[in-house]
Amino acid sequence: MSEKTDSISDAFRTFLQEAPDHAKSWMTAVQGLEKAGALDSKTGSLAYLAVLAALGLNSGVPFHASIAKQCGASREEVISAVLLGLPAAGNVVTRSLPVALKAYDAKE
């Protein structure tokens, strides 16, 4: 497997394999939302990391940290994105930091 697919959570991998029609519909919606957005890919990926961290959804953090890196985000930018929600979400975001950094630091 590639680094990109290695970072997909077991839950999402199961979704892709066991419900391919639903997954295709989901991915079509995701791609449409990406196209509709005004953010460049690096900014969008960092913003998405911030949202995942704020919601405590760590299963998606490795994949999206890898995407941020591929889009040119520095390690420091990934750290800042994960911690961005501290004032609003509290220290729950710190749980995402080691997860994001492990994925960011993984060899390509």
What does pTM read for this prediction? Answer: 0.86
Exposed/middle/buried for 10, CB within 10 Å: 0-12, 13-18, 19+? exposed
Q: Give me the domains of the chain, ranges plus CATH numbers.
A: 3-105 (1.20.1290.10)
Per-residue model confidence as pLDDT tens digits over 23-67: 999 999 999 998 999 999 999 999 999 999 999 999 999 999 999
Average pLDDT (10-35) is 94
Q: Which residue spans within 5-68 are E strands per DSSP?
A: none
